[in-house]
Amino acid sequence: MALSPLATGAVTLPVEARKLRQEVRDFLAEERAAGTILGRPDSWLTGWDPAFTRRLAERGWVGMALPQEYGGGGRGNLERYVVIEELLAAGAPVSAHWVADRQAGPSILRHGTEHQREFYLPRIAAGECFFSIGMSEQNSGSDLASVQTRAERTAGGWRLTGTKMWTGGAHINDYAIVLARTEDSEDRHAGLSQFIVDLRAPRIRVEPIRLLTGEHTFNYFHLEGVEVGDDALLGRPGDGWRQVTGELALERSGPERFLSTLPLLTALVGQLQRAACSPEQHGRVGRLTARLASIRQLSLGVAAALEAGRPADVQAALVKDLGTRFEGELVGEVREVLPVAARFDATRGTYPELLAAAILHSPGYTLRGGTNEILRGIITRGLELNS
């Protein structure tokens, strides 16, 4: 019996990766000294800093896996992995370009027209063009194929009507890739298409949905008969489901699925270094470190598979379930290792405040990008296909 999810050869990073990692660390040290990095948990969701993004882009670290002819870095996915894991581990503010870099860019490269590539990709790589994900709706969460947003043909293009929900950054980003129904069909996976929509176009209304902390990252995103040209269609009409599935593979497979709370663990280690540490505390730190390092190896395996063009949906689901559960477990363990009351109103960046941020964000870890229950279904389906 071939159980592909268990086939995990170790991944050896390319030699250039070592030098690259050091370059990123040197850059991060400078930024830290300048006070731009507070080592926050969940910084890829809430760390909005376009100026930081542009400094990254100047070094070629945004869109770095996009081809050079479109302004990208032409580097491999494993090199990109090294850069983004360093940024995430440091809790750097990367949310502005995160979706553009991770999925919009690669999607446009893969499915876009030549005109679309030339128009969007260089700006993405320059850190000047930010994207939102327009998939979920009020009644379409896990069951994404049930989306109600419609796109109807017009003389010069399409008219989009519907309401997207949970759209991260719709109030500050430039574009959203919207999944809409273009045709009714018996097969619920048919008749869907993707559109690139300018978030500042007329007849778009963005309405905040505040997180339980009061922070504003989510939105309703109403499309009230938005007229777009033919050139807004991404890929082929009716191919939306297949495209979205590919996009989700990118969305689910990265190191942000286990590193969201790492800055809290780093802060804890910093606290412990200043105090006498008990064997019990050492043991708990060791437990988390071992799990972290093991999950990272699995995640590297996904990156290597994607780099080699092998399908990695099942492995990605597996890493995301393990990784996002770890993000939450870490918070629980940290509380036990060094019991301190979490305080959201403490000075930003201090240990009690980081702990508060990590706790208050914890419900999201295992929901966003597809819930863990759904991911486990993908894993067992993969097992059946393999047995």
Partner 1 sequence: MSTQSLFERAAAVLAAADETDATSETNKADGTDGTFGTGALGRPAASAPSLWRALRAADALPSLDTDPAVLVDLVCEAGRRATPAPLAETLLVARPLLAAAQLPVPDGPLTVASGPLDVRFAHVDTGSRVGPLGAGGTDDAVRVSGTLSRVPWARGADAVVVLTEGPSSGPMLLLLDAGQCRQVAGTNLAGEPRDELVLIDVAVPAERVRRVPAALVEEARWRAGLARAALIAGAARRCVELTVAHTSSRVQFGRPLSHFQAVKQEEAKLVEEAALIGAAVGAATAALAEPGAAEFPAWIAAAQASASVAEIARIAHQLHGAIGFTELSPLRLATTRMWSWRDEDGGEHAWQRRIGRRVVAAGGGDRLWPLVTGS
Binding-site string for ligand FAD from residue 312 to residue 351, where x marks contact by CB under 6 A and - marks none? ----------------------------------------
- Does 252 engage in binding with ligand FAD (CB under 6 A)? no
Nearest to 234 by CA among 140, 121, 325: 121
- Does 384 engage in binding with partner 1 (CB under 8 A)? yes
Binding-site string for partner 1 from residue 73 to residue 92, where x marks contact by CB under 8 A and - marks none? ------------x---x---
For residue 280, what is the DSSP state? H
Q: Which stretch binds partner 1 (CB under 8 A): 92-100, 273-281, 343-351, 358-366?
A: 273-281
Return contacts of 107-111, CB within 8 angstroms, 24+ apart: 107/177, 107/194, 107/234, 107/243, 107/246, 107/247, 107/250, 108/196, 108/234, 109/66, 109/67, 109/70, 110/246, 111/194, 111/234, 111/235, 111/236, 111/239, 111/243
CB of 12 to partner 1, least distance (A): 6
Residue, CB closest to ligand FAD: 141
Beta carbons within 8 Å of 127's beta carbon, 6+ residues apart:
50, 53, 54, 56, 57, 58, 62, 96, 97
CB of 39 to partner 1, least distance (A): 9
Nearest to 81 by CA among 260, 293, 288, 296: 296
- Does 270 engage in binding with partner 1 (CB under 8 A)? yes
CB of 7 to partner 1, least distance (A): 8
Could you tell which of partner 1, ligand FAD, none binds residue 247, using a CB distance below 5 to 8 A set by kind?
none
Could you tell which of partner 1, ligand FAD, none binds residue 282, using a CB distance below 5 to 8 A set by kind?
partner 1
Query: Contact, 164 vs 136, CB < 8 A?
Result: yes
Binding positions for ligand FAD, rule: CB under 6 A: 132-136, 141-142, 166-168, 364, 367-368, 370-371, 373-374
